[in-house]
């Protein structure tokens, strides 16, 4: 009996890990586009790095909602799209605000590494976002 319970826990963990990996792969095009856009805004349009990151974050929030809902958390719940979006938006907005604050603080010390810091933040905050999304979209 004990082995069966342990095996069931592993199945759930494996399923969640596969979904998380799918979540990460879905985010790769988004992060690549955001990196290119960040370089363009900072280097070409000479927009301040934190403001550029903030604008990109907002665009990512909007686009990722639809991608995540369709390909990762395609739940069958009869929930309004508006309610789902508002739950997503305000939760992710809080997470991304923390992301922005950390990004802004770190680039003060390492201004030339703003793209590396962007990648690092995306990696760190991906698990937090995944866990949050799993709570209400699943």
pLDDT in tens, 6-35: 555 555 578 888 888 888 888 888 888 989
Distance of alpha carbon 91 from alpha carbon 28, whole angstroms: 21
The pLDDT value recorded for residue 11 is 57
- Quote the DSSP letter at residue 112: G
User: Can you give the residue ranges of every domain in the chain?
Assistant: 2-137
Assess whether pLDDT exceeds 80 at residue 3: no
Mean pLDDT in residue range 35-55 = 93
Q: 51-65, pLDDT tens digit by residue?
A: 998 899 888 888 888
* Residue whose entry in the numeric block shows the structure tokens 């403001």: 51
- Provide the pLDDT for residue 108: 92
Could you give phi then psi for residue 64, rounded to 5 degrees? Answer: -65, -30
pLDDT value, residue 77: 63
d(C-alpha 121, C-alpha 55), whole Å? 16
Burial of 132 from C-beta contacts in 10 A (0-12 / 13-18 / 19+): middle
């Amino acid at each position: 009996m004990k082995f069966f319970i342990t095996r069931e826990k592993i199945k759930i963990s494996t399923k969640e890990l596969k979904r998380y990996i799918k979540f990460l792969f879905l985010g790769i095009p988004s992060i690549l586009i955001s990196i290119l856009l960040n370089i363009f805004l900072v280097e070409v349009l000479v927009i301040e790095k934190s403001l550029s990151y903030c604008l990109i974050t907002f665009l990512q929030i909007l686009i990722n909602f639809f991608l995540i809902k369709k390909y990762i958390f395609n739940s069958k719940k009869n929930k309004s799209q508006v309610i789902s979006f508002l739950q997503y938006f305000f939760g992710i907005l809080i997470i991304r605000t923390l992301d922005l604050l950390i990004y802004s603080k770190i680039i003060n010390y390492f201004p030339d590494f703003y793209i590396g810091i962007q990648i690092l933040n995306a990696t760190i905050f991906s698990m937090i976002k995944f866990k949050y999304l799993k709570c209400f979209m699943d």
